[in-house]
Amino acid sequence: MSRQATVGLVGFALAVTLLPAAECSAAQLQNDPQLERVQRGEGGWNVPRVRELARRAIVRRATWAADEDLRDYRAHARGHVYFLYDLGRGTERHLIKADQLALDLYWREPGRTRQLIVGRREKKVLPTNIRYHIDHLIVVMDNLGDRVSLGEGTEVRDVLHPAAPGALEFYEYRLADSLTLVLPDREVQVYKVEVRPRDPNGPGLVGNVYLGRLSADIVQMECTFTAASYLDDTLDYFSIRLENALWEGRYWLPYRQGIELRRDIKALQFPAGGIIRAEFRIGDYQFNTGIPESFFRGPGVSALPASLREAFQFDEGLYAALDPDVAVAAPSLEEIRAAATQIVRESYLQRLEGLRLAVPGVSSVFRYRRSEGLYVGPGLSRGFAGGARGVLLGGYAIGADEWVLEGRLLVPLAGSLDLELDGYWNRAADVTPWTASSGAVATLAALLDGEDYREPFWASGGGLALRHPWGPADARVAVAWESWEPATLGADDLIGRRYRAVREVDAGEVARLVLELKRPPLAAVEAVGGTFWGGRVEAATRSAVGDFEYVRATVRAEQVWPGLALGWALRLSAAAGAVGGGRIPAQRLFPVGGRGSVRGYGFHRFVGNLQAVAGIELSGEIVDPFVSLALFTDVGWVDSRGRSAERALDAWNRVGAPAGSTRGPLIGVGAGVGLVFDILRVELARGLRQGGTWELVVRVRSELWDWL
């Protein structure tokens, strides 16, 4: 195996992922008639039959290039590389940068390779200075080599391949399934073999290898690495998927390759990770064309001049590999890691996190609010065996003269089921079901204008919750007990400024059951579009530990179309809520008006127990990426019905400007200018009915709110 080809996997580390299931690779998995026999008697680790199969795979892999009839080949590769961020492992992902590449591949016996980058285009969605190594943009042409190295040896180095010489003494093997891989032009009978290192505390691959039943050729590989394999402390995981296809009826050569790697900040628990997700499709093979040996002299990877690369005509869009209708092939790269946890314990795949500083968001450690004044508080987090993770936050609200404490423990249970436990004292809760602004904007607005876009009250208590995926959505069931206390204005103690009054909502205890179902946005929804929604039902009853009786339901949805004419994007949003019951607390009403609902009206000028709001926004780039334009219209309605709602409304109006129902719909229209990748948006809105006013809204891109 050539050193260049081995190092080439690093490129694979940023340039290979899943492609359309309709293409020429294993698109479907069907049960084989031999499956029952395999499951009945040959499912143990290292049984003689599977060791013999692994031995044959090692021999076959070492001799595939010795075919005297194969002297050279050339091929084309087309792929995408995406740089994304998330808010923690398993959370929604947003695009930072996209690259699209075209390569010409050349191979000559014995193992000489060269790759030429003939086309490339890129687009930044958020500012970044990421620069990929040249070998991050190429294809693996040797099934990873006998010793796997990634990131030029800085991420993973010299990890033994499970089908390399010596692997039988290093790895364990288990025959997991007997399958038929259905290709467009043939069916291939394969064995699915699970692989793990004998010592999971050391470096090694973990995953599945699909071997031809008759030939023991490697048809497909899906794997990740043990935690001990990672040399880079910021590396969270690295998942790989390799697919080969049978060319000319005899050569198993690359067809599709995919990787995903994630990094996070090890010294700090912060809800942010950087993800590189990439994919390549290889085809148009030509065999024995007489490539001269002199062609392989010089660097193994080179590129055409920039003008020629930029002029290349791609057949697919820049975001094609992010579109789930195009790019998803089973199993996905996310499922590869999940499957690995069935082979070895999660603790062997992820480093145990020690005690470190926790910053769930900037406002969790430093903020300024009407009810709290200046708040300062550190946080700590720690990982535990089995993948559990705990976070402890504490601080002091200077203006309110109150200590704040909050603890949270996340415990993975069987499969994808997670248990959440939390307890808190003097948590600054908000009446509004959907936050109207980021925490950083709220702090600046409170300091400069006396408004923090919150309706605060104090909550102390605790609860437990279970979370589990449900189809494309995430389901959550929770029970909690809380003691509520109304907040008062505390900001005057620090800065002499006129502040909006803090509503004196109800005091009391509440025991509640919460059901939530949420479909998060697709990865890079800003590029590929899609629908995301969420629904929540909360119920409380009077009891020895509860003073309120109500049922509250909320639902919210958004649809994004990013690729309209002339590069404009359309976003539709809608939300609705209703609460009823024998004793509705004031903090379960729905305030409407101003940013977060219907722009062009006084903030939360209206309130009731029934609410509906909707918005439409058309946006496009004017000077990419520095200036964009947005036009929008908001509509909304809120009403109060029932004696319990009227009592809650009276409590709401004890302090502050009187608020009540709307007289028909509210309508607000406006325009905004987005600056520097639309990170900062300045909007001017006008309410058209019921005392609408001019409103200036300065806000940060909503995808960044969790950090702020």
Q: Would you state the pLDDT for residue 90?
A: 75
- Nearest 10 degrees: CA dihedral of 323, 329, 332, 336? -160
**Over the chain (708 residues), what is each successive 10-residue block's mean pLDDT?**
35 31 35 48 79 93 74 94 86 91 93 92 92 76 86 87 94 92 76 93 94 91 92 88 87 88 85 89 93 90 93 93 59 72 77 86 93 93 87 94 96 88 96 94 92 96 95 94 94 72 95 96 83 96 90 97 87 98 96 96 97 97 94 97 95 94 96 96 96 95 90
Pairing of the two strands 268-269 and 356-358: parallel
Q: Would you state the pLDDT for residue 21?
A: 29
Q: Would you state the pLDDT for residue 11?
A: 37
Q: Where do the structural domains in the chain lie, given as residue ranges?
A: 3-349, 352-502
Q: Would you state the pLDDT for residue 8?
A: 37
Cβ-based neighbours of 42, under 8 Å, separated by 6 or more: 49, 50, 175
User: Residue 423 and residue 360: Cα distance in Å, rounded?
Assistant: 16
Beta-bridged to residue 181, according to DSSP, are: 29, 188
Cβ-based neighbours of 528, under 8 Å, separated by 6 or more: 319, 322, 323, 324, 522, 562
399-402's contacts with Cβ under 8 Å and 24+ in sequence apart are 399/371, 399/372, 399/373, 399/374, 399/490, 399/491, 399/492, 399/493, 399/494, 400/371, 400/372, 400/373, 400/487, 400/488, 400/490, 401/490, 402/372, 402/426, 402/458
Q: Would you state the pLDDT for residue 352?
A: 77
Place of tokens 């208590």: 461
Whether the Cβ atoms of residue 538 and residue 551 lie closer than 8 Å to each other = yes
User: Residue 556 and residue 576: Cα distance in Å, rounded?
Assistant: 7
Dihedral sign for Cα 65, 68, 74, 77, please. negative
Beta-bridged to residue 73, according to DSSP, are: 107, 287
DSSP string, 439-477: HHHHHHHHHHHS--S--EEEEEEEEEEEEEEETTEEEEE
Q: Would you state the pLDDT for residue 494?
A: 54
Q: Would you state the pLDDT for residue 30?
A: 43
Whether the Cβ atoms of residue 630 and residue 671 lie closer than 8 Å to each other = yes
Beta-bridged to residue 294, according to DSSP, are: none
For residue 202, the SS3 value is: coil
- Percentages of the chain per state (helix, strand, coil), in multiples of 5: 20, 50, 35
Dihedral sign for Cα 246, 251, 252, 256, please. negative
